[in-house]
Structures are given as C-alpha cells and as structure tokens.
Structure 1
Amino acid sequence: MKLGVFAVLFAQKPLEEALDYIASKGLEAVEIGTGGYPGNAHCKPDELLADAGKLKAFKQAFDSRGLTISALSCHGNPLHPQKAIAQSYHDDFIKTVELAQRLEVPVVVGFSGCPGDHEDAKYPNWPVAPWPNDFQEILAWQWENKVIPYWKETGKFAQERGIKLALELHGGFSVHTPATLLRLRDAVGEVIGANLDPSHMWWQGIDPVQAVHILGRAGAIHHFHAKDTSLDVNNVNKHGVTDMQSYTQMLDRAWQFRSVGYGHDLKTWADIISALRLVGYDYVVSIEHEDGLMSVDEGFSKAVQNLQQVLIKEPVGEMWWV
C-alpha cells in the first residue's frame, strides 16, 4: 500500500509548493480535486485538456517528486433535480474522466448524487425510512428513473476510457452504504466501486472492517480515504446520528470528523488496514483531513504519523512457516 493525501486541504498553496510539502512528509501519492465541491485549485481540466504542454508540465510536477496521482476527485450531485446544477456537476465529472485517461490515472472519485422526488422537484430528497410508504415509492422512482440510468451511461463512458469510478459512500446521496453501492454495481457493472471512507461508516453505525469485507470480497473497493469520526454518546442520545446541526457546533453535535487516531485507536485502524490487505486492496490510503479541532498542518501531520505505524507496505511473500 501507498500512503497519500487528498490535496484539497492545501488549496491555498500553489501546486508545486503543496507537492514539496507532501513529499517532505514521506508520502507517495496525491489525490487531486478537479471540480465540484472540492474545487479545482490545483487542477484546471479545461486548460490541461486543451494544452498538451501544460498537461505534460502538470504530470512532471508529480513525477519529479516521486509522487503518483492516485485519483482525480470531482464530488458533486449530477442527479440534482435542478437541471442547470446537475449539468454543471456532470460536465465537470466527464471532463475529469477524460483528463484521467490523458494522465493515465486509473480512478475518478465522486458522489452518486441524489435526485428529487419527481420530475419537477427543486431539491434532492434522501429517503432514509421505509414508512410511511411514500418514501419507498420515492426511492423506487429515484433508482429506476435517475440513479441507474445515469450511471449506466456515465459508467460506459468511463469504462471505454479505462477508468474506474469510485463513488464515496456518503450520507445525503443515493449511494451511502455497502448495500447501495453493490446495488448500483450490480446494475451498472464493475466500473462502479467504492471510495471507502470509514468516517462515514462509523456515524451510520457500520463497522468499517465489515464494510471492507463486504465490498472487498466483491472486488468493489476502488479507492480509500483515511478519515476518523468520534461520537458523543450523550449527544447521540439527544440528536440521533442524523444530526442536522452544522459541523461548526462541535460541542453539541452527535458526531464529528477527526484526524486518524483521534476518533478510534490505532488497533482499530490496524484492523482496517489488515482487512484491506486481506481482501486484496493494496492501492493508496488517501488521507482526508476535516478535523475542526486541528489546523491543516497539525491534523495532516498527526494522520501521517499514526498511519505510518499501521500501514502495510511490503509484499506478503511466501508463508515460510507453513
């Protein structure tokens, strides 16, 4: 495995300065934002697709520092019921797939999106309860008319270009659990896989180790984010895990994102890394830092230090004791 980072946390730094800093920490891979919610501070797909010289220089910035690009990330809602919004996210995603092909980056990360509840809706509708039965009817309509058709078309586009799509399992979107990811994969094909982020499993009550096994046995983990979550039992009892308070309300929230090791101990993270190796995932572990208690530098540095203790990097080799 290689240790990497989702570089949007260094968006205020010029690309080469950010890469120097990342390389100085001993990392080997970088995940780059290309649009959507993460923005495109370090990578402008339109410019790189239009200029071979700029594309070559961009790639050289990584190669010269011994870094690989693990994924291009373009998180958005291409299923948004407002067509102009959906089209913008879709266009960014398609350009990202095209750029990944040109850069020989094997994975594009994004969200599944979430539609509205009918053709004239203005806002997404995320059903999370089976009753009243209206919610089941909405869910069926969304998957049959929006989610599956969109990803069949987009998946075909990516597959023809040799790109795997890693959808992040994230609350608020149609694909948010191992089961919903596998449902879409069954409908679309193996081009669809997970960008598995344990932080989003923990707050939903899903054990990330078991999520690794469920998805990994199906060969459905295309990318991995390393981010932690802490849960406050008293606040969970007060607000539930679907706490709608702003992430800034840290003292009163049911749960919050933390840097690796500050929500769960390193034994838990060692179990996750071991499970990844067990199911055959030996690609990049990409640090994502969204810890409201730590600065960018400190939160990132702590995650690097903690993951370096548990990451499994060398090939297995033969079982000499057997």
Structure 2
Amino acid sequence: MKLGVFTVLYSDKSLDDMLELVASKGIEAVELGTGGYPGDAHCHLDSLLADDNKQKEFIEKIRSRGLIVSALSCHANPLHPQEKIAKEADALFTKTVKLASKLGIPVVNTFSGCPGDHEGAKYPNWPVAPWPNEFQEILKWQWEEKIIPYWKEKALFAEKNQVKIGLELHGGFSVHTPATLLRLREECGEVIGANLDPSHLWWQSIDPIEAIKILGREGAIHHFHAKDTIVDQPNMNRNGLTDMTSYADMRNRSWYFRTVGYGHEAKVWADIISTLRLYGYDYVVSIEHEDGLMSIEEGLTKAVQTLQPIMVKESVGEMWWT
C-alpha cells in the first residue's frame, strides 16, 4: 500500500512546489484534479492531451520526486438535467479517461451524477424515501432511462482505454451506498468500482469496515480516500442525516468532516487499513483534507502522522508459521 494525497488542497501552489511539499512529508502518491468540482490546478487536460512531450515532462516531474499518480479526478454531474452542465461534465470525463490512458494512470475518479425527475427537469432530484410512491417512480425512471444507459456507454469507453472508473459514494448522487454501486456495476461491468471514502459512509450510518467487506468480496474497490467524520448526536437528533445546515456552521450541523484520527481513533483506522488488505486492496490510501477546524498544513500533517504507522506496506507471502 502507498500513502497518497488528493492535491486540491494545494491548488494555490504550482505543480513543482506542490510535488516538493508532499514528497517532503513522506507521501508516495498524488491524486490530481482535472476539472469539475476539484478544479485543474495541477493537471491541464487540453494542454497535455495536445502534446506528447508535455505528457512525458509532466510524468517525469512526478516520478523524479519518487511519486506516482494514483488517479485523475473529475468529480462533476454528467447526468445533470440541464444539457449544458451535463455536456461539460461528460466532455471532462471523456478527456480525463483519454489522458489517464495515455499516461498509464489506472483509475479515474468521479461522481455517478444525479438526473432530474423527468425530461424537462431543471435540477437534480435525489430520492431518499420509498413513499409517497412517486419517489419510487422517479428512482425507476432515473436508473432505467438515465443512469444505466449513460454508464454502460462510459464503462465500455473506459475499458477500451484500460482505465477503471472509481465512483465516490456521496450523498446527493445516485450512487451513494455499496448497494447502489453494486447495482450499477452489475449492469455496466467490472470497470465500475468505488472510490471508497469512509467520511461519506459514517454520516449515512454505514460502517466503513462492513462496506469494505461488501465491496471487497466483489473486487469493487478501485481507489480509497482517507477522510474522517464527526457525528454530533444532539444535532443529529434535531436535524437528521440529511442535514441542510451549511458546512460552515459546524456547531449546528449533524455531522462534519475532520482530518484522519480526529473523528475516529487510530485503532479504527488501523482496522480499516487491515480490512482493505484482507479483501485484496493493495493500492493507494489518498488523504482528502476538508477539516473546518484545522489549516491545510496542520490537517494534512496530522493525517499523515496518524496513517503512516498503521499502513500495511508488505504482503505476508507464505505463512511460515503454519
């Protein structure tokens, strides 16, 4: 396993300065945004796709620091009911897969997207209750008419380019649980998998370790994010899971993100790492820093300090004691 970082937290720095900084912390892999919600501060798609020499220079800058690229990330909503937004997200995904293929990067991370509730809709509709019955009708229409057809096409495209798709299980998007991920994977093939982020599981009351087992049995974990979450039970009692309180109003939210080790203790994270290995994941653990109580520098440093001692670096090989 390798310890990595999602470099959007250093979007104010040049590629060279960012690489020097993360390498100095003992990080071994970088996950780079190519546009959409993460932005493209360190990976400009059009420029790189147009020039083979720039591609070689780009990868050499990364390798010369002893780093690899774990994934390219283009989180957006390609199923948005507004055609302009959907087309931009789709073009971004397509270009990102092409670049990943050219650079030998095995995974592209994104969101599944979320459609509207009919062809003339203006905004996404995320059904979260089975009754009244029209919610079930919306959900059926979304999956049969929008979600499955779109991702079947994209899965074939990614497979042709020898790139895996890591969908982040995130509230507000159609794929947000192990069950919804596996449903899409069954329809579209094994190129579809999870960019598994425990922080979004905890607030949905999903145990990340059990989610790893569910997805790991199917070989459906393509990438992994390390981010923590605090659940504030009194606020949860008042606001519920689907809390619309601003992320900035942390005192009144049901849950909020923390750096690794500040939502759940190191033993919990050690169990997560061990379960990943138990179920065959031997790739990158990519830190995503979105802690509203810590600076970028402090939050990332503390996440690295928590994770480095518990990373499993070597496979056991033959069980010599049996």
**TM-score greater than 0.5 by the shorter chain:** yes
Q: Which residue in 2 is equivalent to 1:35?
A: 35
Look up the SS of the partner of 2:229 in the other structure. strand
Structure 1 position 63, deviation (Å)? 0.9
Distance in 2 (alpha carbons) for counterparts of 1:100 and 1:160: 12
- Matched with 1:141 is 141
SS, match of residue 210 in structure 1: helix
Q: Distance in 2 between matches of 1:311 and 1:59?
A: 25
Whole-Å separation in 2 of the counterparts to 1:2 and 1:28: 6
Partner of 2:169: 169
Q: TM-score, normalised by structure 1?
A: 0.99
Q: Which residue of 2 aligns with 1:157?
A: 157
Letter of the 2:233 partner, please give it. Answer: V
What does 1:21-32 align with in structure 2 at a 5 Å threshold? 21-32=21-32
Matched, 1:62 2:62: yes
Is the deviation greater in 221-230 or in 312-321? 312-321
Partner of 1:261: 261
**SS state of the match for residue 252, structure 2?**
coil
What does 1:42-53 align with in structure 2 at a 5 Å threshold?
A: 42-53=42-53
Q: How many residues align?
A: 322
Alignment of 1:141-290 (within 5 A): 141-290=141-290
Q: Percent identity?
A: 68
- Please name the residue that 1:122 is paired with: 122
Distance in 1 separating the partners of 2:44 and 2:169: 26
Q: Does 1:13 align with 2:1?
A: no
Q: Distance in 2 between matches of 1:299 and 1:279?
A: 29
SS of the residue corresponding to residue 268 of structure 2 reads helix
- Paired with 1:243 and 1:316, the residues of 2 have a C-alpha distance of 43
Shift of 1:56: 1.2
Q: Offset at 1:133?
A: 0.2
Pairwise CA distance, 1:150: 0.2
Which residue of the partner structure matches residue 300 of structure 2? 300
Who is 2:98 aligned against? 98
- CA distance in structure 1 between the aligned counterparts of 2:152 and 2:176, rounded to whole angstroms: 18
Query: Which residue is 2:317 aligned to?
Result: 317
Match of 1:89 in 2: 89
Provide structure 1 residue ranges, at least 5 long, that are not aligned to the other structure.
none
Root-mean-square deviation (CA, aligned residues, Å) is: 0.5
Amino acid at match of 1:18: M
Distance 2:259 2:14 in 1: 24
Q: Secondary structure at the match of 2:72?
A: strand
Q: Report the Cα distance in structure 2 between the residues aligned to 1:97 and 1:167, rounded to whole angstroms.
A: 13
SS at match of 1:204: coil
Q: TM-score, normalization: structure 2? A: 0.99
What 5-or-longer segments of structure 2 have no aligned partner? none
Equivalent position amino acid for 1:228 in 2: D
User: 1-side partners of 2:77 and 2:207: how far apart?
Assistant: 26
Could you tell me how far apart the structure 1 residues matched to 2:306 and 2:197 are?
A: 17
Deviation, structure 1 residue 241 = 1.1
2: distance between equivalents of 1:316 and 1:188?
A: 34
CA shift, 1:35, in A, is: 0.8
- The separation in 1 between residues aligned to 2:111 and 2:33, in whole angstroms, is 13
Partner Cα separation in structure 2 for residue 196 and residue 72 of structure 1: 15
Structure 1 position 317, deviation (Å) = 2.1
Matches of 1:5 and 1:79 in 2, distance apart?
28
Q: CA deviation at 1:237?
A: 0.3
CA–CA distance in 1 between the matches of 2:300 and 2:28?
15
1:259-278 C-alpha deviation (Å, 9 max, x unpaired): 00000011110110010000
2:66 partner letter = G
Distance of 2:192 and 2:243 partners within structure 1: 29
